[in-house]
Amino acid sequence: MNMERRNFLSCITGVTSILVYSKTLKADTPDKLPETPNILFIMTDQHRTDYVSAYNSKKAGTPAIDSIAENGTIFTNAYSSTPLCIPARTAIQTGLYPHQTGAIDNTPKANIPEETLPSLFQKKGYKTVYYGKFHVAGGNKNYKYDIKKSAGSKEKIDLQARKDAVKFLSSKPKSPFFLTVSFRNPHDICQWGNPRIRSKLPEGNIGLPPEKESELPSLPHNFKPADIVPEGIKVYIKSRYKKQQNWTDIDWKKYIWGYPRMCEKVDREIAQVLEALKKAKLEKDTIIVFLSDHGEMLGSHKLLNKRFAYEESAKVPFIISWKGLTKPGNRSNIPVNTGIDLMATLFDFANIPLPADRKGISLKPVVFGKKIPSSKRDFIVVESLIGKNKRPLYVVRMLRIDKYKYIVYDKGKNREELFDIKNDPGEMKNLINDPEYRKQLELCRKTIRAWAVENDDKDFLYV
């Protein structure tokens, strides 16, 4: 750990130490592990961490996802590489940061390397199978899965993905396989925001919200905007969410009402996939990974959907389990960038060398209960972009380190935010102008600038 990092840690008082892990460390794993275990990768879309009940939340009941967590590790500080579909999913498939591939928005153009998740699994002898929503930059030619199938955008992707996955597992496939089952829900919240089409959701109806306010959920505790709002957010709201600016509290509550029902709906699909794995007697031979590409604001800061660097949008549920082998009920607060760390972790389990240009770390030691007080991984950086098409674009970087989050926009007024996540989890008090936090601010700036140099993020204008 360098001197700047020591200074950063020493200037913070009353903080519980974060347990972090390094890719150079070996776990206390069982004596004999399969060289090439099966891997079942289950993915949802726009799924908030606090709408998975295994994360100590009662907002939604997700028994299927919870059952994965019971036998493995829950990562409580996992973040999307970019809280937006295509950039996040492209990072997962390549193990590269969005700025490295050019996949920074929901557009198909990108520079995709030859070595991707499916191609490297195939070199190891894996059968690679992908069912469900893909939505990745670069086109199918760059990701040549042995089997790849997705329903059309107007069809029920989740229903078809579940059926295909159950059929595949029921055939008792030969090992090893890398099976991805990618569900769309709770992404239907994007359509739910338009009351006129609430009865015509892509993944099927969930009913309509009650008219009585007493039967609706409460507004989030951080429903109001933060005390200092960046110009980029203000511009984006005015251009993208004109109708929502006039929503009443009841309108917001009706919007929130639909979300847990979508989370529970997709959990029921996941349950059937897990049951098929069990019936095929493949549980002990298969690592299960659950992850969402990004979250959903759902009224926090009076915002909806994704793109934002706030916790509700950027943080994601992430669980790894290998029944009978991984430490059950384990929880880790290591900072994770799922876009770069997932590939490193899966390849470590499958004994596949990680390409030299990929910067992720393996979380395999964590899953087996290895706890280390310090390592090179004491922070992560998330990228984002506010605005699209002809609207003004604001490029964003977010640093998560210890109990702090630092957000910086490339331009505009109030372009920096600093939050104490431990004492202000709703990110309501921007400490950027507080003289008591000047040292932390300067160290955050130095840390993220150093990361930018190391990762060739030269086009972003840092402070």
265 domain-assigned = yes
DSSP letters of 64-120? HHHHHHHTEEEETTEE-SSSSHHHHHHHHHH-S-HHHHT--SSSS-----S--HHHH
415 domain-assigned = no
112 domain-assigned = yes
- The pLDDT of residue 4 is 44
Task: Read off the tokens for 179.
Answer: 């099976």
Cβ(311)–Cβ(425) under 8 Å? yes
Strand order in the sheet with 127-132: 147-149, 127-132, 177-182, 38-44, 286-292, 318-321, 72-75, 330-332
Q: Give the residue carrying structure tokens 């390849």.
A: 347
- The pLDDT of residue 413 is 95
- The pLDDT of residue 458 is 85
- The pLDDT of residue 15 is 35
Q: Cα(319)–Cα(42) distance, rounded to whole angstroms?
A: 10
Question: How many separate helices (H) and strands (E) can be counted in the chain?
Answer: 13, 14
439 domain-assigned = no
- The pLDDT of residue 1 is 44
Q: What is the mean pLDDT of each run of 10 residues along the chain (463 residues)?
A: 45 37 44 90 98 96 97 97 96 97 88 95 98 89 90 80 97 94 97 90 94 96 94 88 88 97 98 98 96 98 95 98 93 95 97 96 92 71 83 88 96 96 97 97 96 91 85
Q: Which residues pair with 181 in a beta bridge?
A: 42, 131
CATH number of the CATH domain containing 211:
3.40.720.10
- The pLDDT of residue 406 is 98
Q: Among 440, 435, 442, 439, which Cα is nearest to 419's?
A: 440
259 domain-assigned = yes
- The pLDDT of residue 175 is 86
- Please state whether the predicted TM-score (pTM) of the whole model is above 0.85: yes
* Total domains present in the chain: 1
- The pLDDT of residue 260 is 98
- The pLDDT of residue 387 is 82
438 domain-assigned = no
- The pLDDT of residue 32 is 79
- The pLDDT of residue 19 is 36
Q: Provide the residue range defining the domain that includes 128.
A: 35-371
